[in-house]
């Protein structure tokens, strides 16, 4: 799996993870945040590697479906991009830059 996809799924997990079941969330965190293998997760849950794979794929589709409908991540990324553009426009105004930096930190 590519680094970009892993980052994307981690972002989706941070926005929509609480909408998954406890088991789905735990497995997704184990795989994407803790970098455990399918076998390690399967051993912990006493299920097969294939079952872990199926649960992860199903969970990914659920997260992607939420983003497709709600677009929270896309909107957040757009706001962050616009804040950075504004920051470059007012580069010589320190008081405004401080406020923009504060807002960017809130978005990150």
Q: Which residues neighbour 83 within 8 Å (Cβ) at sequence distance 6 or greater?
A: 100, 103, 104, 107
Q: Which residue has the higher pLDDT, 43 or 1?
A: 43
pLDDT at residue 108 is higher than 80: no
Task: Tell me the pLDDT of the chain averaged across its residues.
Answer: 92
Encode pLDDT of 38-78 as tens digits.
999 999 999 999 999 999 999 999 999 999 999 999 999 99
pTM comes to 0.77
In the chain the domains, ranked by start, together with CATH numbers, are: 3-70 (1.10.10.10), 74-107 (no CATH)
pLDDT at residue 1 is higher than 80: no
Q: Which residues neighbour 32 within 8 Å (Cβ) at sequence distance 6 or greater?
A: 6, 9, 10, 13
Mean local confidence (pLDDT), 78-99: 84
């Amino acid at each position: 799996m590519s680094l970009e996809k892993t980052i994307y799924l981690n972002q989706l997990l941070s926005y929509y993870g609480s909408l998954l079941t406890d088991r789905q969330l735990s497995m997704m965190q184990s795989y994407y945040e803790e970098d455990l293998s399918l076998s390690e997760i399967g051993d912990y849950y006493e299920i097969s590697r294939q079952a872990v794979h199926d649960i992860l794929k199903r969970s990914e589709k659920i997260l992607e479906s939420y983003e497709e409908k709600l677009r929270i991540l896309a909107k957040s990324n757009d706001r962050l991009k616009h804040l950075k553009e504004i920051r470059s426009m007012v580069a010589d105004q320190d008081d405004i830059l401080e406020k923009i930096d504060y807002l960017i930190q809130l978005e990150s």
